[in-house]
């Protein structure tokens, strides 16, 4: 997936329903700019990144935001660090610590 995400200029997410879409986290890990409708936790995930946009679910707004990304012509800065906390090893350690607190 990383190879595909590194070959494109923007992630466009137009889902009607999402929780915490993995594709957004994968795009951030590749420092890929994101244009999305306000769905799931996407707004929270991308709020700190210049070059990412949350827009209404209307073709004109989506197209304008994608155009902004393309004109800007830059990858994100720090996207990987923002999702590093979600790595399998770090999540596993947090879950383990919860069980340890409960059991001991």
pLDDT in tens, the chain (104 residues): 889 999 999 999 999 999 999 999 999 999 999 999 999 999 999 999 999 999 999 999 999 999 999 999 999 999 988 888 888 888 899 999 999 999 88
Q: DSSP letter at 90?
A: H
Beta carbons within 8 Å of 11's beta carbon, 6+ residues apart: 5, 23, 24, 27, 32, 33, 34, 35, 36
C-beta separation of 55 from 61 below 8 A: yes
What confidence score (pLDDT) does residue 88 get?
Answer: 84
* β pairing state of 34-36 and 11-13: parallel
Name the residue ranges covered by the structural domains of the chain.
2-103
Separation of alpha carbons 62 and 20, rounded Å: 20
- Which listed CATH number (3.40.50.300, 3.90.180.10, 3.40.190.10, 3.40.50.2000) goes with 2-103? 3.40.50.2000
Assign 11 to helix, strand or coil: strand
Separation of alpha carbons 74 and 68, rounded Å: 11
What confidence score (pLDDT) does residue 39 get?
Answer: 97
In this structure, what token pair is assigned to residue 33? Answer: 């700019």
pTM of the model: 0.84
For residue 11, with 0-12 CB atoms within 10 Å meaning exposed, 13-18 middle and 19 or more buried, which class applies? buried
């Amino acid at each position: 997936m990383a190879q595909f995400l590194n070959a494109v200029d923007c992630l466009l997410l137009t889902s009607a329903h999402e929780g915490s879409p993995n594709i957004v986290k994968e795009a951030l890990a590749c420092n890929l700019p994101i244009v999305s409708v306000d769905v799931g936790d996407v707004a929270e995930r991308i709020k700190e990144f210049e070059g990412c946009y949350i827009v209404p679910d209307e073709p004109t707004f989506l197209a304008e935001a994608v155009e902004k990304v393309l004109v800007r012509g830059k990858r994100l800065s720090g996207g990987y660090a923002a999702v590093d906390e979600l790595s399998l090893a770090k999540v596993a350690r947090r879950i383990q610590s919860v069980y340890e607190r409960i059991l001991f």
